Structure 1
Amino acid sequence: MKSNSTSLKYIHGYTLDEQERLREQALVIERPIYDFIDFSEVNELLEIGSGVGAQTEILLRRFPHLHITGVEYESRQIKKALENMSKLGYDERKVTFVQQDAKNLHLDKQYDAAFICWVLEHVSEPVSVLFSMKPYLKHNAKVSITEVFNTTFYTYPVKMEVMEYWRIYNEYQVQIGGDPQVGVRLGDLLEEAGYRNIDLRSGGFHLDSRQPEEKRTVFNYWKNLMSSGAPSLLEEGLITEKQLIEMQHAMDELRDMPHAVFYYRFIQATAYA
């Protein structure tokens, strides 16, 4: 659920470059997420925070029998999602996008499963989303949620230009109502909202000299992720152009070091309505 530009602030913004980055990001992190998700027995899937359809297209590729209803708050993201789906050959027979606030859903049917990925980190009171979608899930519907745990990000060697920028980035996300550590709370949030059979796993990256190409790809991706917050951080006066450039150069140096290490964990939850 990406926030409306006239109300809540969204750290990544809605530029065309950012909309394309979301698709690139989804592909880079596809395997660590989707190798542990099974919607083979699901027909009607509710996707909360569908954005530009970056995750939607992976879901439809991996589970081509699905029909997906994507809920998204920002009209610009829905417009881009429709363009993306059309280019891939998907129409309303496979995917429908609904512009609604995920905290206050008004849907016209129930679903076999729900999917949330990289969304609750941007939401104040994320449990309200879990409460809101529950009436629209069939009994025993599967819920799959993947969320951030940003304090786990670490590189070897440590580059202070990177870690200081990351600290500011995450503090700003908290300031605008998000939670960059929300992944560790998924169990409690699902329990509070009344879901059953909650299971948590930690996924992510631990890349070193044994995976040189994947490590280069992930360092590039992570630099782009951090850079996506730069317009907001610059506008708020939280960083300078010099800090941004130094962070980017440091990430490039790490990417090109044979023995550099990239480490990050996210949290995945599976539960049932």
Structure 2
Amino acid sequence: MSQEIPAPKYIHGYHEVEQERLREQAMVIENPIYDFIDFSSVTELLEIGSGVGAQTEILLKRFPHLKITGVEYESKQIEKAKENMTKLGIGQDKVEFIQQDATALQLPQKYDGAFICWVLEHISDPVRVLKSMKPFLKTGAKVSITEVFNSTFYTYPVKEAIMEYWTIYNQYQVSIGGDPQVGARLGDLLQESGYEQIDLRSEGFHLDSRMPQEKKTVFTYWKNLMSSGAPLLLEEGLVTEKQVKDMQEAMDKLRDLPQSVFYYRFIQATAFA
């Protein structure tokens, strides 16, 4: 009898708090991401790693003409995505979710666009995803990818409790097969996978006393992002409850400090099949 292969570990987990955080994240970072994305000429869009539908929701808000097929590995995320779409009044004529492994896609059609956001960081071999996707894209299909570059994260003042935790967080992601710096490699990954007209862009946050409310919002969001990894880090014995609490309190202090600075860059790529 064959054994069921366990799902790969996901640093953020699939619990309900995390599912809601994904929607919050999408809203907080919407403008820096989507100011660079134009799917106005795309009709059928393939979204890889659609999760709970947080980005799907924004895509349909900005490009209501789209028909989206979302591919997701985890069934719990698909259930939540369908629930979210129903609440929004978005029907199956606009979005369909398919449970598949993105490294071995088997899709019923070809698409004229593809979208990947915060997904390749969790994949041990992202080229397999990009190559798996390519046969299901029409010639000239537009591809948009947004990915992390976690070594760019910086705060002023520098807080040891934050940076210590952040280092452990990123090292753990590497240990389970992810790459928290994958954004820096997007150009090479796309070229190796056979895509053309590759264009890269660095975007993100550099927030200080000039934009106090946005800075508070992003510090709160980032604390929640870091905290989402705490259950697994605690389970693995990599951090203590005190380290988690110290990180959270330090983030709150920086959030409320008028002269604090938040800095982070992510990388976006546009390419064509």
Pair in the same fold by TM > 0.5: yes
Q: Deviations over 1:90-149 (max 9, x none)?
A: 111000000000000000100010000000000011010000000000000000000000
TM-score with structure 1 length normalisation? 0.98
**Matched residue, 2:69:** 69
**Per-residue deviation, 1:7:** 2.6
Aligned amino acid, residue 138 of structure 2 = K
**Matched residue, 1:230:** 230
Cα distance between partner residues in 1 of 2:74 and 2:23: 17
**1:50-61 alignment runs, 5 A limit:** 50-61=50-61
Asked if residue 145 in structure 1 is aligned to residue 145 in structure 2, the reply is yes
Aligned amino acid, residue 20 of structure 1 = E
**Matched residue, 1:41:** 41
Closer, same or farther: CA 61–257 of 1 in aligned 2, 3 Å: same
Q: Deviations over 1:16-59 (max 9, x none)?
A: 00000000000000000001100011110000000000000000
Q: Deviations over 1:43-87 (max 9, x none)?
A: 100000000000000000000000000000000000000000000
**1:1-273 alignment runs, 5 A limit:** 6-273=6-273
Q: Deviations over 1:140-176 (max 9, x none)?
A: 0000000000000000000000000000000000000
Cα distance between partner residues in 2 of 1:91 and 1:99: 18
TM-score with structure 2 length normalisation? 0.98
| Cα root mean square deviation, aligned | 0.9
Cα distance between partner residues in 2 of 1:266 and 1:138: 28
Cα distance between partner residues in 2 of 1:146 and 1:217: 21
State the SS of the aligned residue for 2:147. strand
State the SS of the aligned residue for 2:36. coil
Q: Deviations over 1:232-267 (max 9, x none)?
A: 000000000000000000000000000100000000
Q: For structure 1, list consecutive stretches of 5 or more residues without a partner in the other structure.
A: none
State the SS of the aligned residue for 1:271. strand
Cα distance between partner residues in 1 of 2:5 and 2:176: 12
Cα distance between partner residues in 1 of 2:7 and 2:53: 22
Cα distance between partner residues in 2 of 1:142 and 1:64: 17
Cα distance between partner residues in 1 of 2:22 and 2:31: 16
Aligned amino acid, residue 229 of structure 2 = G
Q: For structure 2, list consecutive stretches of 5 or more residues without a partner in the other structure.
A: none
Closer, same or farther: CA 114–230 of 1 in aligned 2, 3 Å: same
State the SS of the aligned residue for 2:52. coil
Q: Which runs of 4+ in 1 moved over 3 A?
A: none
Aligned amino acid, residue 181 of structure 1 = Q
Cα distance between partner residues in 1 of 2:160 and 2:249: 12
Aligned amino acid, residue 214 of structure 2 = E
Alignment length (residue pairs): 270
Closer, same or farther: CA 75–5 of 1 in aligned 2, 3 Å: farther
Aligned amino acid, residue 99 of structure 1 = Q
Cα distance between partner residues in 1 of 2:5 and 2:34: 30
